[in-house]
Amino acid sequence: MLAPKKRDHALARRQLYLNYGALSLATVLQLQGHETRLIHGEHYTPDATLMQLREFGIFPSRHPIMLSIPSFYALTWAQSFCQLVKRTDPEARVIVGGRWVVGPDPDWLRGLLPEADVLVEGMAEPIIGSLLTSSPDLRKLAAPTPGFTLNHLLVQGHLRYQPSVEASRGCGMGCKFCEERDIKLDRIRAPSELAHSMALVQEQYGGADIHPYLQASMFAANAQWGEQLATTVSELGLNIEWRTESRVDALTPRAVAALARAGLKVVDLGLETASPAQIVAMKKARDPDRYLASASKLLAACRENGVRVKANILLYAGETVNTFEETRSWLDDHASCISGVSVGPVIAYGPPKTADFLLEDWERLGAHPVDPLSKHVSGITHMHLSKDFDSGAAEAASLNLSRRYMDADSYFELKSFSYYPRDYTRADFDQDIERSNLEKLPFRLMARH
């Protein structure tokens, strides 16, 4: 990305996101016998990244450059990179994938990325080998959760990144704002398979301490599954703390207790809101009371079992002072169970073909786009949420809410668990705070009294 996706400050530029979708494809190619390397653009410029490829002797090449665009925030970077590649070597073949960015409307993307020779719309595991040939198979085929272990050794500088282990794909719970709303949930991988993958990943890191992210849009393990994972983890003698993401009503307290024994240490929970009206507006759940009751039980279970909770909060279309206060008050009541929050206003992602469906719904709720043309240009539409919250007020309220529940210690703990380079220290963090625009930091610097 040319700039971090939320707020641009020195700390945000430290974050590393392993593109585990691209790593899955690299792993398939390697298993098929190809020599493969995965390089992350991170926050380097396109020039610096191309320079890296040259230094490694892999550009120019008769093989294609496969470029994965994981989010619309990476699109401007990808545009510059593709132009640069073609300017430097007009013969180069560029294949672009990234299901969330290419999939919604390939014709729209072609207009923005004319240098791409091939656009791949869906999940590429079943066809990735054919993309190396002169007759690529571009069918959109099903790609269930792979059973293999991601090979992190293929990632340039892999030791800096916390690793990933894929647990399941899809969700299908219907939340209006989410791209996974209609994508059916795969069955979660067998616990013994996941435990063995964790062990293999630790080997890839030379036996060092790792904090894998067990990737799932909705980690939905029951207590029995958790027990089996705890048993296998103990049989293998693993001592690995891991993190995952789920809904507040998808894990029972018994499941949390078992998962904690299996190493679960941090869970990202998509609470989104505690306003009953907003829960319904988002189509997060049909019965808000039941939803919030489940959330309370899960948060208590996490605290009892030593699992840190990071709650994701979404200021939604139609948000009012009243609905915002409902969420704040609920979070206050549960503050002792929460280690941190991630708060932001809802954004419509995608070109007109997919964004319009959201924008029509949100306009009915009283929201309107900040720039009606941005969906055409960037695939990112920021919103004025309501009369109470224009986009500036929504951003200010988001920052205030973040700071209410997070200080520098809790922020560092959560970020360094998964997203900062593995060798990034608290002293580095403190230095970066000094270099940051303090007004943009989502945590408070002083302890509250």
Closest separation between CB of residue 284 and ligand SF4, Å? 7
Provide the 3-class DSSP secondary structure of residue 220.
coil
Nearer to ligand SF4, 85 or 347 (CB): 347
Distance CA 82, CA 94 (A): 7
Radius of gyration of the chain (CA): 22
CB of 152 or CB of 169, closer to ligand SF4: 169
Judged by beta carbon, residue 117 or residue 179, the one nearer ligand SF4 is 179
DSSP-derived secondary structure for 107-164:
HHHHHH-TT-SEE--S--TTTGGGGGSSS--------PPPSSPP-GGGBTTGGGSPPE
Q: Residue 151 or 275: which CB sits closer to ligand SF4?
A: 275
Question: Using the rule CB under 6 A, which residue among 1, 65, 175, 302 binds ligand SF4?
Answer: 175
- Name the residue type at position 201: V
| Residue 314 found at the interface with ligand SF4 (CB under 6 A) | no
Among 8, 89, 121, 180, which residue interacts with ligand SF4 (rule: CB under 6 A)?
Answer: 180
Identity of residue 224: Q
Interface positions, 228-267, toward ligand SF4 (CB under 6 A): 247
Q: What is the DSSP letter of 332?
A: H
- Does 181 participate in binding ligand SF4 (rule CB under 6 A)? yes
In the range 366-395, which residues lie near ligand SF4 by CB under 6 A?
Answer: none
Single residue of 94, 195, 218, 383 touching ligand SF4 by CB under 6 A: 218
Q: Which is nearer to ligand SF4, 93 or 247 (CB)?
A: 247
Smallest distance, Å, CB 304 to ligand SF4?
24
Rule CB under 6 A: is residue 178 a binding residue for ligand SF4?
yes
Regarding 270 and contact with ligand SF4 (CB under 6 A), the answer is: yes
Q: Does 68 bind ligand SF4 (CB under 6 A)?
A: no
In the complex, the smallest distance separating the C-beta of residue 185 from ligand SF4, rounded to whole angstroms, is: 8
Cα–Cα distance, 209 to 202 (Å, whole number):
8
For residue 87, give both structure tokens: 């300017």
Q: Closest CB to ligand SF4 among 268 and 326?
A: 268
Taking the C-alpha atoms of residue 443 and residue 253, their distance in angstroms, rounded to an integer, is 29
Do 38 and 19 contact (CB within 8 A), yes or no?
yes
Cβ–Cβ < 8 Å for 310, 414: yes
For the purposes of burial, counting CB atoms within 10 Å of the CB of 96, is it exposed (0-12), middle (13-18) or buried (19 or more)? buried
Task: Identify which of residues 273 and 418 has a Cβ nearer to ligand SF4 in the complex.
Answer: 273
Given the rule CB under 6 A, which residues bind ligand SF4? 171, 173, 175, 178, 180-181, 217-218, 247, 270
